[in-house]
Amino acid sequence: EVVLTQSPGTLSLSPGERATLSCRASQSVSSRYLAWYQQRPGQTPRLLIYGTSSRATGIPGRFSGSGSGTDFTLTISRLEPEDFAVYYCQQYNRSPPTFGQGTKVEIK
């Protein structure tokens, strides 16, 4: 199974700052099959990015994804108050689909 390791575990930032989240895979993942989800407290996960860099419907442009092979990045260009949440990467290239353990973006 593909193990995804996210870093850092927690990111403490202020509104307006840039957030950079990392997701590293234990083996190569096709860029077509890497997604990012956001989960706000008490809410269901929401798809943000799929295919490494494509934004899902309704996702604002401040969210962007990049990467290839085993290293992927989610960037939030300027944090809004509603962006403080937990973010998960997921690979769906090989079964079983797997998630990273999550990165919490908290208000500094």
Binding site for other proteins (CB under 8 A): 1, 33, 35, 37, 39, 44-47, 50-51, 56, 86, 88, 90, 92-93, 95-102
Question: Are residues 42 and 100 in contact, defined by beta-carbon separation less than 8 angstroms?
Answer: no
The CA radius of gyration of the chain, in Å to the nearest whole number, is 13
What Å distances lie between residue 92 and 64, 66, 102, 105, CA to CA?
19, 16, 16, 24
Query: Minimal distance in Å, beta carbon 28 to other proteins?
Result: 15
Looking at the Cβ atoms of 22 and 33, the one nearer to other proteins is 33
* C-alpha span between 3 and 20 (Å, rounded): 20
One-letter amino acid for residue 2 of the chain: V
Looking at the Cβ atoms of 18 and 40, the one nearer to other proteins is 40
Query: Minimal distance in Å, beta carbon 87 to other proteins?
Result: 11
Looking at the Cβ atoms of 50 and 72, the one nearer to other proteins is 50
